[in-house]
Every structure is written in structure tokens, then in C-alpha cells.
Structure 1
């Protein structure tokens, strides 16, 4: 989870959806037939995932609202099955699907009370978190996957505060179970937001976020010792 104020998460989710849809509108249906930036996924698979992710997070919102345990996915294979099923839908249906599921999730979150926002739910990775985490999880999906679309978005266009939160969140996840802790330093602006580590990688904040979330490296990234960049395990 990030250290950003909880009040930031819902605006980031809304802005992230707008950013994703703006990137999507620049892409023709025929481009969605081709590959996305994610190995093995076409653009249609990516849209299927983004729409089904909103639906899955809506299940967590239902859990928070009712107290009825409702997993994001019914079993370990359900996520992949949903993505594959939606990946064969026509592109216009997928565009509507992403929009409609985002609206449903937003409505469900708007209905949560103060007490319900603090209810504990369990993510697809098995982490127990308060419901306040749900809009952060959705924000992360929307902003990052906008950059996975064919001719899609760019990490350099993310809001600075969101980029900081994303880097911090990614660093926290990257350190889990690792013998060497990776830290970063942004070279494009002054910030002390990021954890230090045994190995420090420095470079522009957008490039750091892109690398930490498994979207490739950049010639602008380097370790402070001159050693090669650490090898990172797959993102999520």
C-alpha cells in the first residue's frame, strides 16, 4: 500500500479512467486485434482484463458493504479464464465493457460509509487490506495499462504524486522476500518520498516507475555504483 493520503485514491481512479479512455480513443478497432505491450495479449485481451478487473474489485466493494466475504475471483484460474473469454469479444463491446464496469465500480464505492471503508477485504494476491485500498488498486491498473495499449499512454504523463505513490508501492512489493533491497532516487525533481536500499537506482521518476512495474528499462537509469541494474521478478 502507498503512503499517499486516502483522499487521493478516488480522484486518481477517476483521472486514471479518463486517461485510459483517452488513450483508447486514439486506437482503432483494427489495432486492438494486434499485440499489446504485454506478452501474449492482444489489445482485446487487455481491454478484457481492465473491464474484468473493475468487476472483480466491485466484488470487494460488495464485501465491504455487506460483510459477506466475496473473493475477487472464484478460484485461482478464474482471472485468466475471464480474460480469455472477453478477449474474443468484438472491440466495440469491449470498449463499452470497460466503461460500464468502471461506472458500476464507482457507484459501489460511492455508496460505502465511513465504517465500511475500513472493512477488511482480501486481494487476489491474498493480502488483507482495508476497503480504502480498492480505489488505489484500480488506479494502478488504469494508469499502467493505458501504457500497455497499442500506441497508448506514457508514464511521463502521470501526475507526480501518483508516480511517487506508484514507485513507493512497487518498491515495497519488490522488497518482499528479496535478500537485497532496491532503493531509488529521482533525478528530475526533488523528493525524499522513496525508501532507501542496499542498491540505489537513479533516473527520471517516470523511467523509475516504468522499470519497477516491469515495463522496460531506460538508458537514463543507472545504479549509483555503476553496477548493472538489478534483475527484477515479474510484476504482480
Structure 2
């Protein structure tokens, strides 16, 4: 039994299913269409989610062994996504499903001793393995939206967590005051925000 929070694991599982179901509903010919992310086609998003699962598995290895296994080496993330975007839809579907299963199995195997190992996110933030479930949940739910999943499909607990996460990131990017004014009804129009986190 995993030492990680059961609710967090359930959220990862539900988000993974939602993402994979969204991908399954996209025809092969549509893997070249645009998404909500600038310059990324469907194939880019699916490739990114696949390689993200592998990157997070490296963090699980780091937590288990104590030996540093960074999520990405310099330049690796972008290079992987660009390469993966050239794969066939069948290969992408298989890869993203297999890596998702591997990550879920790894999360289920986390022990209490793994929780103490200090890790680093891809952005250099100090984290622990307890942060990994939310990191993955955010990826699969947000990228399901990028691929066309209706926002009404987001579970209430995910909506709340995403709002807190996004608002915190916006505040640290100096966009917090204008966003707070709008959310509290003190500004008539929403602020113009920069690109996603």
C-alpha cells in the first residue's frame, strides 16, 4: 500500500483516465490539428504528457534510491516533445498509455522512507515525492482541456486545487493584484494574463 495520500492518488487516477479517454476520442487525422497551446499540435501535447510521466518516474527513483535523477537534463524536455510529435498516432497512444500505467504503479509503490528524500522539480523548486501526485494531476487535467475536454468535466476538488495553484503562480508573476481585484468584483474586466505557468 502506498505511503502517499489516497485522495491524491485517486485524483491522479481519475485525471489519467480523463486524459487517455480524451486522446482515444481524437481521430488519427486530428493529431496534426492545433490545440489551446500556442505552436503545439495534438501530437505535441500527447508526447509531452508521455514524457512527463517518464520524468516523474525519475523522481520516484530518486526518492527510492537517494541518488539524484533529475526530471530532465538541459534541453531534454523540448527535444523529447518535438521528437515525440513526429510519431504516429498509434505509437503515441501506446506510449502515453504505457508510461501512465508505469507512473501509477510507481506511485502505488511509494514507501514511508521515500517521503523523506529531498527532490527538485524541473524548475528547481525543492519538493518531496509527496508533491508528485499533484504535479501529475495538474498535467493530465490541464492538458485534457488543451485537447478539447469540456471544463465542466473537471471534478470539484481539482477545480479548487487548480485555482489555488494558478492564483499562487500568477501572484508570484506580479499578476496577483489585478487578478484579485477582478475575482473579488473590484474590477469590471478580467486582467490580461501571461502564458500558462
Report the TM-score when normalising by structure 2: 0.92
Change (3 A) 1:118 1:156: farther
Unmatched 5+ stretches in structure 1: 184-196, 203-223
The answer to whether structure 1 residue 232 and structure 2 residue 187 are counterparts is no
Q: CA deviation at 1:182?
A: 5.4
Q: Is the 8 Å Cα contact of residues 147 and 154 (structure 1) preserved in structure 2?
A: yes
Q: What is the alpha-carbon distance in structure 2 between the residues aligned to residue 8 and residue 123 of structure 1?
A: 22
1:115 offset after TM fit, Å? 2.1
Could you tell me how far apart the structure 1 residues matched to 2:141 and 2:116 are? 25
Deviations 1:197-228 (A, max 9, x none): 4x1416xxxxxxxxxxxxxxxxxxxxx13433
- CA deviation after TM superposition for structure 1 residue 101, in Å: 0.5
2:118 aligned partner: 120
Alignment match, 1:170: 166
The answer (yes or no) to whether the contact 1:73–1:124 under 8 Å persists in 2 is yes
Structure-2 change in CA distance of 1:123 and 1:157 (3 Å): same
* Alignment-derived partner of residue 146 in structure 1: 144
The aligned residue for residue 156 of structure 1 is: 152
What's the offset of the Cα at 1:162? 1.3
State the structure with bigger RCO (CA 8 A, min sep 6), 1 or 2.
2
Matching residue of 2:130: 132
Quick one: distance in 2 between partners of 1:117 and 1:74? 23
Q: Which residue of 2 aligns with 1:102?
A: 100
The gaps in structure 2 that reach 5 residues or longer are: none
The structure richer in strand per residue is: 1
What SS does structure 2 have at the residue aligned with 1:147?
Answer: helix
Point out the structure with the larger helix share: 2
Q: Provide Cα deviations, 1:88-125, integer angstroms capped at 9, x if missing partner.
A: 00000000010010111112222211121242211111
Do 1:44 and 1:91's aligned partners in 2 also have CA atoms closer than 8 Å? yes
